[in-house]
Chain A
């Protein structure tokens, strides 16, 4: 198993001073640029620790928000490429649906791969709903744009010889010939996130790594859809390394301290949904069928405990989050047992995206969280043999 350390790089000092929306329309007068710089540098330092103790690294970006200072992930990736030595650098995600210029994307990502010595993992995503008011890209048709950009970037990274031509539905170039091209061949590994079985199936067909975020005990149906898609094109069951899961992680030798850390890390969930309501569902983001269900007053449950109990992961207790498989929290033994249990539920899950810092978790506690996990939990997870679930008939 690989474990990627992740933080949203929050500007948490503004979390208590909003008017019902932490994203898009929270005025940036709430931000002190000097403090923002200190926080970003601190987060980079903590990722450097992650690298030193044997963890991999995951970065992302969001826009116009106090929940995430990384508005241009290529900056964080560039710094990580330079200051870390061994860690894989996963960008999850790189919001392709919002990028007007995929040539620039191919150049940025290839450069990161080259500078890092071939350590980049490319997670292409459409972006959360509230990115659209910021980027002003049309949410209608975003998946079409995403897949054309994806096709273009892979072609740009793998093409050799004379410059090639691209006159697609959305993007137009006549002389494509990127310098540098990536180290990893044929291109850096591809990942994506999804919360839908249809998309999971598509990712399976392509064999990309599927990541689900905080999906807890609702994860297995998504993975099984992936397995079916994978089986269709590969005629075998996918290995555990095709699956990734983002969970909150708080570990300490003292259980009470672990719970305290868990409570601070849960600040991520408690703030992530604080956004001006209309921005949560721009037209075209969800399917017409899903939107019709919303009009008729049906809503989807937020989370589910192992015993089937519904859990509101945005407002619940640390214990509920543990029960829901959203947080792994406790002593190293407890955390190890929780993760193994969850992987068995998944039928194999080989990439833990560990949110080992969020919100106001202090620097010392963050470093201790990462170090203790790497020392006491990671080696046992690496030794543990993952199950490989059979593919059920479609």
Chain B
């Protein structure tokens, strides 16, 4: 793995080849991307690298990462990251997840936080909050991409890509990410009904960073989610929506790294 500019490299984790961006030095920061994937030149990765060794993989089936046979759930993917942390012998990891990545981070942490110090969740999906006839999350696959962007971003131009004038590989990655997202989040829609029952196991300090312009999810949804994790803090980021790490990369990174600086009594939180 190397950490130059916007390059990515790959890492084999128990036979699964993961595309990984690694940048910076110091305490490990595992960044878990949302359903739209992560671009190697995303400013948030540089901003986070100021405070540690950023490891930003593409999830199995996303970006250039392998899709092993039978891997079709967030639960499946969570084990890949538990393996990854073991393999690299990462300790006191700051785990950051946005959107789908937030769901994934919770799924990992509910299994074990043995290698984690802090958890930061940016507008995570993953739980069901309202009643069975109330959809908590906008049905993004019933909308056109520009309609989704209008709801997701404070400034939709941040998400715009001129695929016609970009290399074909950019469109292929976007198409692969779209499919990979639906593979794990189509039904139950954007959540695991069992996750709520497991969130009590998360015993590391947890911060919700909520982009207030998110109209895919609502702030009451985020606040309800936060109450399910013991001691979780809930902070808002203005002029940011469903992808706060893209719209406010500096404040997002500063808040996450600052939170992780705060000393917590190790594992005495239960």
Contact status A288-B182, CB under 8 Å: no
Which A residues between 38 and 92 are near B, CB-CB below 8 angstroms? none
**Set of chain A residues within 8 Å of B172, measured between Cβ atoms:** 288-289, 292
Complex A-B: 8 CB contacts under 8 Å: A138-B182, A140-B179, A140-B186, A279-B142, A288-B176, A291-B179, A296-B163, A297-B164
Q: Which of B72, B163, B186 contacts A295 (CB 8 A)?
A: B163
| Chain B residues with a Cβ closer than 8 Å to the other chain, count | 21
Given A140-B183, A141-B72, 6 further pairs, Cβ under 8 A: A133-B141, A136-B187, A140-B186, A141-B183, A283-B182, A292-B168
Binary CB contact string for chain B from 5 to 29 against chain A (1 if under 8 A, 0 otherwise): 0000000000000000000000000
In the assembled complex, the Cα of A278 lies from the Cα of B183 at a distance in Å of 17
Closest CB-CB distance, B145 to chain A, in whole Å? 9
In the assembled complex, the Cα of A283 lies from the Cα of B176 at a distance in Å of 9
Contact status A138-B183, CB under 8 Å: yes
Contact status A292-B171, CB under 8 Å: yes
- A139 near B: Cβ within 8 Å? yes
Q: A169-B70, A284-B182 are in contact. Are A296 and B142 (CB under 8 A)?
A: no
**Set of chain B residues within 8 Å of A31, measured between Cβ atoms:** none
Instruction: Identify whether the interface residues of A are mostly helix, strand, loop, or mixed.
Output: loop
**Set of chain B residues within 8 Å of A296, measured between Cβ atoms:** 163-164, 168, 171
Closest CB-CB distance, B26 to chain A, in whole Å? 37
Binary CB contact string for chain B from 194 to 206 against chain A (1 if under 8 A, 0 otherwise): 0000000000000
Binary CB contact string for chain A from 274 to 289 against chain B (1 if under 8 A, 0 otherwise): 0011110011100011
Q: How many A-B contacts if CB must be within 8 Å?
A: 63
**Set of chain B residues within 8 Å of A279, measured between Cβ atoms:** 142
Contact status B174-A292, CB under 8 Å: yes
Task: List the 6 closest A-B pairs by CB distance, nearest first.
Answer: A291-B175, A283-B182, A292-B171, A140-B183, A138-B186, A295-B171
In the assembled complex, the Cα of A277 lies from the Cα of B174 at a distance in Å of 19
| Chain A residues with a Cβ closer than 8 Å to the other chain, count | 23
Closest CB-CB distance, A170 to chain B, in whole Å? 10
Which residues of A does B touch, CB under 8 Å?
133, 136-141, 169, 276-279, 282-284, 288-289, 291-293, 295-297
In the assembled complex, the Cα of A265 lies from the Cα of B141 at a distance in Å of 32
Most buried by B among A138, A284, A295: A295
- B181 near A: Cβ within 8 Å? yes
**Set of chain A residues within 8 Å of B178, measured between Cβ atoms:** 283, 291
In the assembled complex, the Cα of A2 lies from the Cα of B177 at a distance in Å of 45
Contact status B182-A292, CB under 8 Å: no
Closest CB-CB distance, B131 to chain A, in whole Å? 18
